[in-house]
Structure 1
Amino acid sequence: MNYKNFPMVPRVIFGRGSFNQLSEILAPKRLNSHSPFIYLIDDVFKNNAWLTSRIYLAYDDRIIFISAKEEPKTSQVDELVEDIILSSKERPSGIIGIGGGTLLDLAKAVSIMITNEGEAKDYQGWDLVKNPAIYHVGIPTISGTGAEVSRTTVLTGPTRKLGINSDYTPFDQVFLDPELTKGVPNNQWFYTGMDCFIHCVESLNGTYLNAFSQSYGNMAYELCKDIFLDNNLTEEDTQDKLMMASWHGGMSIAYSQVGVAHAMSYGLAYVLGVKHGIGNCIVFDHLEEFYPEGVKLFKIMKTTHNITLPQGLCAGLSDKELDLMVNIALGLEPLWENAIGKHWKKTITKEKLKALYKKM
């Protein structure tokens, strides 16, 4: 048996207000005065001095504000890398991503592409990255995606939506400051939190399950039940617990995989541009056949938090668009193998997936 030797985030700081230690932690990592730190920040913080005033810019350091309204794209990564290289006198000291999963994935991808030739689309897949990334830091401002801990950066490319999965992807440093998640709109909080819940359901019910994945998955699953079913938690408790659920949920799939909801939501994202969290929710709502217990709980959580999911997204799609969706989903073979087993192709047909998509 040949076991995978997975990398982990080597340094993590947790605590309310820990973001205030950012400059102190970055200082020793500065290569020289011509080697800037580049901050990629969700543009919802553009006029938010509460966050930006705590970022100490020195020498040629830069903040680049980026909209998270769309899923991150390989072309976007290439443009950012070109901009950073052309505007910096020397290779940057580090990339700091501040935001949700979109910004964290962009920060991971940019840090990889600064040291690897070609275009980001060339690295979509498993273990294709040759050179270590530059120093990169992840600071989530919404909890659930697990992007802060995972070894993948999910990108929509010219032909598919697929992550850059590599040992060089994980962050060198993560800040888990629950205070940064205050003020997230209820819908967004729910969809991103459900990304974590669905990670756990798919991991815990998968054929790849092992004691490593199970221990982290169970922890995150129980935390999600506390957060989304217990109305007696304070706002601070909710923020703290969801940040830890996200971390554990991300860890639970390091040694396993996600499953049907993620595979099918990739199809929705590629063809319709549906954001990852809400896409998972739209798909998961129809997956009783695969995850009866999880879907039952999900529906209770949805009602508890007054969430109404969009209906009829796929109603007006052409056969060509539906086929593309199905092919994107079917291309994610490890996810299907985890969900169904080695012989998944016998039961998961194009017709079956097309029928499922038509319900959404």
Structure 2
Amino acid sequence: MSYKNFPMVSNVIFGRGSFGQINDVLAPKRLSSKAPFIFLIDDVFKSNSWLTSRISLAYDDKIIYVSSAEEPKTSQVDKLVEDIILMTKEKPSGIIGIGGGTLLDLAKAVAIMLTNEGPAKDYQGWDLVKNPAIYHVGIPTISGTGAEVSRTTVLTGPERKLGINSDYTPFDQVILDSELTKGVPTDQWFYTGMDCYIHCVESLTGTYLNKFSETFGDMAIELCRDIYLSDKLSEEEAQESLMMASWHGGMSIVYSQVGVAHALSYGLSYLLGTKHGIGNCIVFDHLEEFYPDGVKEFKEMKARHGIELPKGICADLTEEQFNIMIDVALSLEPLWENALGKNWKKVMTREKVKSLYQKM
């Protein structure tokens, strides 16, 4: 049997207020006065001096504000890389992503594409990256996606939604400061937290499960239950717990895989532009057949927090549009094999996938 030798994030700072150490962390990593640090920051922080004032820009360092209104695209990565090359005299000292999963995925992808030729779409898949990425730092401001710890950067390309899965993808440095997650709207807090919960359910019930994945998944799912089904945590404790649930949840799929919900959600995202967290929730709500216990608990969490999911998003789709979503979903073979085993194609026919989408 061949065992995967996966890299992990090599340096992590955890603690409330730890973002204040950002300048000390970056200083020794500067390559020269002409090699700037490029900060990719969610544009919701554009007017938030509380965050940006703590970043000391020097030499040619730049902040680029990026909208997270849409899922990250390969074309967006290519444009950012082009802009950075044009604005810098030398290759940057590093890329720092500050925001949710969208910004973290963009930061990872840009760091890779600054050292690898061609368009980002050519690297969607498993282990296609040839050259190490430049130094890159992830600082999440919302918890749940696991993007801060994973070896993938999920991108929507011209033909599919698929990650750049590579040993060069993980961040060199992560700063986990739960103070940065305060003020996240309730629905967004729920959707990203459920991304963590759902991929743990998929990992823990999948055929790829092993003790490594199970240990992290069990911890993450217990933390999610504490946060979303009990009143025992203070607001600050809940923020810290969700940050660690996200980390452990991301670790649980490093050595396993996600499943049915993510595969179907990728189809929604590719065709309709549905954001990843809410897409997972919309899909998971209809997957009792595959994850009966998880879906039951998810519905309890949804009711407890007064979350109303969109309905009928596939009601007016044409046959051609259904086929596009079905193609995207079924192309994610490792996810289906994890969920349903090696004979998954006998279970998950095109008709079956369409019938699931028709419920949404």
Deviation at 1:276, TM superposition (A): 0.1
1:69 is matched by which residue type in structure 2? Answer: A
Does 2:228 align with 1:228? yes
Aligned to 1:76: 76
The 5-angstrom pairing of residues 240-255 of structure 1 reads 240-255=240-255
Aligned to 2:50, the other structure's residue is in SS state helix
1:40 is matched by which residue type in structure 2? Answer: L
Aligned to 1:7: 7
Does 2:55 align with 1:55? yes
The 5-angstrom pairing of residues 1-360 of structure 1 reads 1-360=1-360
Aligned counterparts of 1:17 and 1:84: Cα–Cα separation in 2: 30
1:6-32 Cα offsets, whole Å, 9 max, x none, are: 000000000000000000010000000
Query: Which segments of structure 1 move beyond 4 Å, counting only runs of 4 or more?
Result: none
1:176 is matched by which residue type in structure 2? Answer: L
Aligned counterparts of 2:120 and 2:173: Cα–Cα separation in 1: 23
2:33 is matched by which residue type in structure 1? Answer: S
- Structure 2: unaligned runs, 5 residues or longer: none
Deviation at 1:35, TM superposition (A): 0.2
1:190-219 Cα offsets, whole Å, 9 max, x none, are: 000000000100000000000000000000
Aligned to 1:162, the other structure's residue is in SS state strand
Aligned counterparts of 2:49 and 2:289: Cα–Cα separation in 1: 48
Aligned to 1:64, the other structure's residue is in SS state strand
Aligned counterparts of 1:195 and 1:347: Cα–Cα separation in 2: 25
1:248 is matched by which residue type in structure 2? Answer: H
2:285 is matched by which residue type in structure 1? Answer: D
1:282 is matched by which residue type in structure 2? Answer: I
The two structures have a TM-score, normalised by structure 1, of 1.00
1:193 is matched by which residue type in structure 2? Answer: G
Aligned to 1:295, the other structure's residue is in SS state helix
Deviation at 1:2, TM superposition (A): 1.1
Aligned counterparts of 1:153 and 1:274: Cα–Cα separation in 2: 17
Aligned counterparts of 2:160 and 2:307: Cα–Cα separation in 1: 30
Aligned counterparts of 2:133 and 2:358: Cα–Cα separation in 1: 41
Aligned to 1:91, the other structure's residue is in SS state coil
1:306 is matched by which residue type in structure 2? Answer: G
Aligned to 1:217, the other structure's residue is in SS state helix
1:67-114 Cα offsets, whole Å, 9 max, x none, are: 000000000000000000111000000000000000000000000000
Aligned residues between the structures: 360
Aligned counterparts of 2:195 and 2:56: Cα–Cα separation in 1: 32
Deviation at 1:231, TM superposition (A): 2.0
Aligned counterparts of 2:347 and 2:102: Cα–Cα separation in 1: 33
Aligned to 1:12, the other structure's residue is in SS state strand
The two structures have a TM-score, normalised by structure 2, of 1.00
Contact persistence 2:111–2:135 (CA under 8 A) = yes
Aligned counterparts of 1:39 and 1:55: Cα–Cα separation in 2: 9
Deviation at 1:123, TM superposition (A): 0.1
Aligned to 1:286, the other structure's residue is in SS state coil
Aligned counterparts of 2:2 and 2:288: Cα–Cα separation in 1: 35
Aligned to 1:82, the other structure's residue is in SS state helix
Aligned to 1:307, the other structure's residue is in SS state coil
Aligned counterparts of 2:356 and 2:83: Cα–Cα separation in 1: 42
1:115-142 Cα offsets, whole Å, 9 max, x none, are: 0000000000000000000000000000
Aligned counterparts of 1:147 and 1:70: Cα–Cα separation in 2: 16
Contact persistence 2:194–2:277 (CA under 8 A) = yes
Aligned counterparts of 1:230 and 1:93: Cα–Cα separation in 2: 44
Contact persistence 2:226–2:232 (CA under 8 A) = no
Aligned counterparts of 1:328 and 1:244: Cα–Cα separation in 2: 31
Deviation at 1:280, TM superposition (A): 0.1
Aligned counterparts of 1:356 and 1:211: Cα–Cα separation in 2: 31
Aligned counterparts of 2:162 and 2:280: Cα–Cα separation in 1: 15
1:247 is matched by which residue type in structure 2? Answer: W
1:84 is matched by which residue type in structure 2? Answer: I
Give the CA RMSD over aligned residues. 0.4
Contact persistence 2:9–2:172 (CA under 8 A) = yes
Deviation at 1:233, TM superposition (A): 1.5
Aligned counterparts of 1:251 and 1:152: Cα–Cα separation in 2: 12
Aligned counterparts of 1:67 and 1:266: Cα–Cα separation in 2: 20
Aligned counterparts of 2:30 and 2:233: Cα–Cα separation in 1: 41
Aligned to 2:171, the other structure's residue is in SS state coil
Contact persistence 2:109–2:153 (CA under 8 A) = yes
